[in-house]
Amino acid sequence: MRCGLALLVTTTLAAAPALADVNVYSYRQPELIAPLTEAFTAETGIKVNVAFLEQGMVERLKAEGDRSPADVILTVDIARLSEAVDAGVTRPLMTETLQRNVPPAFHDPDGHWWGLTTRARIVYASRERVPEGEITTYEDLANPKWEGRICTRSGLHTYMIGLTSAYLAHHGPEETKAWLEGLKSNLARRPQGDDRAQVRAIWAGECDISLGNTYYMGEMLSDPDQKDWAESVRLDFPVFDVEGGGTHVNISGVALTKASKNTEDAIRFIEFLTSSEAQEIYAEVNSEYPIAPGAAPSELVAGWGSFTPDNLNLMEIATQRGAALRLTEEVDYDG
């Protein structure tokens, strides 16, 4: 059985927290985590301390070793979860509650990580300049008819590498390289900014199409300064043009750290995060799709309509990450 470490983080840990608390390292912003920790504390009386990290979580856990105060890690993207497992900073965890709440496709077979929510990587298209139905597959994005009309963030960003990894798993290296070259040829500008910056560029008329995660629509609509950007685009859910292909999805997930001192309460917290109650709180705050059976998405997310998730195993996406990075660098996507 594999041995690994995973962490959850939301707020900054100043001094070393009391061991009676549950300590989390998280890549997710504090405002996304606070409603969950507050609900858990109200229900159990157990305090949760969250340290928000922008980067370097695995490196920090490895450096801290057995002295790490972290009991749980909370992060996004299967690649980051797999990185934690491979680094040996997570501990396998398997309970009846977790197995009941999380479908097999969304947790590590040995229990090193457990999925909480999913997000789709979709196309944001100009309502004014891109007719509905013009883009139905990811393969369409390399069509020369879109030359000078697409914006993306860096091809080396985790979210872009996740999509490229999935493309690679479906099509192999030669077709994936050709797709990356075609996509690069269609860019209106050099890759830059985050997913919201691409939507702003569409609103400003700099491009007509971008790739982005679904939850950014929720974030933009709730920000008065960005609402106009969001309302200028339409969400299209492309699929991979292969048998059984669907829309690329990735996850947010949680793991128990190898160094956990308060393991019993940490497991209670992880189980709580996978409950329908917590999933609906989480989905309402972050505009993602809950994983727990029976948990409903927010009204906003439900209004985007249904889609067919890709049938590719998440672990296969993680396995292809290194090759996807090499191909992206080979075509000099960001150049």
The 10 Å CB-count burial string (b at 16+, else e) for 295-332 is bebbeebeebeebeebebebeebbbbbebbbebbeebe
Collapsing DSSP states into helix, strand and coil, what is residue 125?
strand
Name the DSSP class of 13.
-
**How many Å apart are CA 67 and CA 50, to the nearest integer?**
17
| Three-state SS letters, 290-307 | ECCCCCCCCHHHHCCCCC
Handedness of CA 190, 193, 194, 200 (dihedral sign): negative
The Cβ of residue 148 has, within 10 Å, a number of other Cβ atoms equal to 11
Between CA 249 and CA 289 the distance in angstroms is 10
Q: 3-state DSSP call for residue 38?
A: helix
Given a contact cutoff of 8 angstroms between Cβ atoms, the answer to whether 61 and 257 are in contact is yes
Check the annotation: does 216 bind a ligand.
yes
d(Cα 105, Cα 103) in Å, to the nearest integer?
Answer: 6
Q: Is residue 159 part of an annotated ligand binding site?
A: no
- Binding-site sequence positions: 215-216
- Binding-site sequence positions for Fe cation: 215-216
